[in-house]
Amino acid sequence: MKEAVVALAKGEAVHRDIGDSDPERMAAPMIADYLKAKEKDWNAAGITMEIVPVNETRHPLAYAVGRATETYEPHKGRVVYLTYTPEGPVDQTILLVGKGITIDTGGADLKVDGVMYGMHSDKMGGAMVAGFFETLSHLKPKGLKVFGYMAFVRNSIGKNAYLPDEILITRNGKRVRIGNTDAEGRLDMADILDEARLQAMKSINPHIFTIATLTGAATRSFGTLTVSMDNGPARLVKMAESLSDAGDMIADPSEVARIRYEDFQVNYPLSDWEDVMQFNDKPGATSNRGFTFPMGFMCIASDLDKHGCASDHPIPYTHSDIAGSAGGIGTLATGSPLRMVIAMKLRKILLVVGPMLTALPHYNWAMKHNPKLTAALGALHSLYVPIQVREMTSTKQKFNRLGLFQFGDKLANSTLAVSQGVAVYRDIGNGDPIRMAAPRIAEYLEERRAAWEAAGINMKIVEPNERDHPMAWAVNRAVKGPIDQTLLIVGKGVTIDTGGADLKINGGMYGMHNDKMGAASVAGFFEILSHLQPKGLKVFGYMPYIRNGLDKHAYLPDEIIVARNGMRVRIGNTDAEGRVILSDVLDEARQQALKEVNPHIFTIATLTGAAVKAYGKVARVRYEDYQVNYGISEYEDIMQFNTLPGSTSKRGFTFPMGYLALISGLSNHGLSSQSPLPYTHTDIAPSSGGIGTYGTGSPLRMYANRFILPRVLP
């Protein structure tokens, strides 16, 4: 078992090295170099290797796909042929053909609007074949002979690029009319699939497979799962179904589809000029049967359609589309091993984090305690059980013991404290709008009162009232010993956001119970404080929890509301409620800050859709972010919102901070004032998580690592 696990892991490593690396590091010649470095070990295991340049005669379709880059040596295409021959007699032969597009620009049918991002992963099919041979080199199974075919080319745009309407001739003489240059995967594989067909006719008990990130339709239909489909001879042995069953047993699930007559018919010629059409005039992702008819094309182009059940030489052929399952940029592996552990019902887990020997000195995340802390928090993220699952089912905990190898007491205790804070954050933030309505959040926090007070935290819970909070609770921490820093953290706590009178429609309300993540992060911060009790740091927390509902008493656009400090606010959009509920408590925080040592005010909120659409680590608030909130008539002092949705407004994620500074009086505490007050706003709309995911813990871990952990960890 151990040997098999190691062999699979090493095969996956090869798969990822090739498939996940960027298009320069794993351009076709560099993939060839990478595989050549394995040739000695592979030869010893019975694997032979041949690597040749893509050839216009031998591989005319793959050559056409890469034609735009053939004049640039670092990007020239390569075809890799691998053969594993076992010791002793052979009773089965499999022939694996993998798509190897090192980067897919779409070619002349250029991918636009950001769709090209992540297309370095379009070589995952070829990478999988290489990984399969790495596993073979370690396990050396008897009786199984394996052939591998991988054409690695770049689908680029340029003066020599192949074009729509062009007619290409396959290695077996078929005329192919190009319909869309962004359907290059089937061309990349067609000629080497014909070579595999010819080899299969000479082999014992053969079965051909193609593996490719081929169609968006597969992703739309099956999400993140592989979909496999059989030709007639393969369906007789139920290969796609047996692949699905095998995958289920090893946490690599797949679906099964069926290829039909119409998947061949759609590729038939439209004129005397061609023998086969490469593509129709619709994007594959929106075409009927968009993930099955490419297999029909490959059968016709490679002559495999002549090897059906009724032929003299039936050849089983199975196609696996991995467009949805292969992964991509931003795909995280953190939780996957833990999910497998959980599925295996292993209750005692040991987490071992090895040294990061290749990390460069400026990689702060890889230094000191950071890798262990991050890994442990990632493990605990996967092991978290949501509060409503704990309350409504028999599942209270996913593990009995989690061992942290060579962590040390301080780091282990700090890790536990942060994870407990994140659990509070998730309990509140992910709880549905009934379980975590404002009164029940109050009950939840009251359960922590004794432990928090023992740690020096004083808690006060009040109902919002028209005098103190006309537009929308407060917690403060008492510190023993001298104070050198004071934080005042204000979190948005909208328990469900319907949009109010400006009602969210067309499904926009879905997931809006997470609109309290800002306040949930404040509560989680105090949970961490209660365990670690850092010296010198005083913290005030403010969390207004309300529901933005719709009924006859709902607040309305054009309504003018007077804030606790007397400023008149004209409501522009009731769906911009977050800044409204923060306004008065932010003013309270401002007044408190004036009495404190070295204060810094923060607001944390799932505030704007514009933050989701924007990018970058840090944004800057400017004069115009204040100006857009100025009153436009004698009736109001400040405008709550303009007439555009926040996600489409210019600077839509910065001007709300301008509003908050104006309404709370913080705009009077700039650098040139007599009492400057530092104020930082964090918009967590993109980062806090949603339905189908646990609350990410953002920005709680960041705040804890900035203000708490440096005081308790060396």
Summary count for the chain: helices (H), strands (E): 24, 24
What is residue 267's three-state secondary structure?
Answer: coil
Q: How does strand 537-542 pair with strand 485-491?
A: parallel
Note the residue count of the chain: 714
Q: Which residues pair with 403 in a beta bridge?
A: 350
Name every residue whose Cβ is closer than 8 Å to that of residue 335 and which is 6 or more positions away in sequence: 378, 381, 382
Q: Is 591 left (phi over 0), alpha (psi -120 to 50) or beta?
A: alpha
Contacts for 58 with CB less than 8 Å, ≥ 6 apart: 52, 79, 171, 191
Inter-residue contact 191 to 61 (CB < 8 Å): yes
Angle between helices 700-707 and 517-532 (to 10 degrees): 40
Dist CA 539 CA 459 (whole Å): 12
The H-assigned helical ranges of 495-574 are: 517-532
Question: How would you class 403 by CB atoms within 10 Å of its CB: exposed for 0-12, middle for 13-18, buried for 19 or more?
Answer: exposed
Torsion angles phi and psi, residue 129, rounded to 5: -65, -45
Q: Which helix (H) or strand (E) holds 639?
A: strand 638-639
Q: Is 516 helix (H, G, I), strand (E, B) or coil?
A: helix
Q: Which residues contact 597 (CB under 8 A, 6 or more apart)?
A: 483, 484, 485, 486, 538
Tokens 């950001």 correspond to 114
Q: Is 360 helix (H, G, I), strand (E, B) or coil?
A: coil
User: In the beta sheet, which residues pair with residue 542?
Assistant: 474, 490
Three-class secondary structure of residue 436 per DSSP: coil
> Which residues are marked as active site?
111, 186
Contacts of 382 (CB under 8 A, 6+ apart): 334, 335, 338, 339, 342
Q: Give the separation between CA 269 and CA 279, rounded to whole angstroms.
A: 11
The DSSP line for 24-57 is TTT-HHHHHHHHHTTHHHHHHTTEEEEEEE--TT
Strand stretches in 105-201, DSSP E: 144-155, 167-169, 175-177
Residue by residue, DSSP assigns 127-139 as HHHHHHHHHHHHH
Exposed/middle/buried for residue 462 (C-beta within 10 Å: 0-12, 13-18, 19+): exposed
**Please, what is the angle between helix 409-430 and helix 370-383, to 10°?**
40
| Consecutive H or E run containing 709 | helix 709-712
Q: How far apart are CA 683 and CA 518, in angstroms?
A: 9
Find out whether 181 and 107 touch, Cβ atoms under 8 Å.
yes
